[in-house]
């Protein structure tokens, strides 16, 4: 993956993390999709605003203590979730960056 694609992927994940921290489910995603992408579910993290205005995303410990650990998703489930996440982003603007780097095998 080229650096521009990697940066775009990280930015997309960060936007999803902010949405989840606000207690909302990202549009077009399911619980299984988030688990396959190794992302938390709404309610497992929260967005805290410090008195000086800094926003911090932190894990909610009480919710995790009561839930049993789930099985890790397979590689096939992970790739399917990534493909679905890419489709959920909507239409690409005409001036958007498109990577022409061949996929690594």
pLDDT tens-digit map of 33-83: 888 888 888 888 888 888 888 888 888 876 444 554 555 556 666 666 666
Task: Quote the Cα angle for 82-69-32, to 5°.
Answer: 25
Its pTM stands at 0.55
Q: Which of 41-45, 83-87, 98-102 has the highest mean pLDDT?
A: 41-45
| Selection from 34, 38, 43 nearest residue 67 by Cα | 43
| Selection from 76, 12, 2 nearest residue 39 by Cα | 12
pLDDT the model gives residue 57:
84
């Amino acid at each position: 993956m080229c650096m521009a694609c990697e940066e775009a992927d990280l930015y997309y994940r960060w936007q999803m993390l902010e949405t989840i921290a606000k207690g909302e489910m990202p549009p077009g995603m399911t619980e299984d999709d988030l688990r396959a992408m190794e992302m938390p579910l709404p309610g497992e993290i929260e967005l805290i605003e410090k008195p000086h205005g800094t926003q911090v995303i932190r894990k909610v410990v009480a919710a995790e203590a009561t839930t049993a650990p789930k099985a890790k998703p397979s590689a096939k489930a992970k790739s399917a979730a990534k493909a679905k996440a890419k489709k959920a982003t909507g239409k690409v603007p005409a001036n958007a960056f498109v990577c022409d780097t061949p996929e690594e095998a």
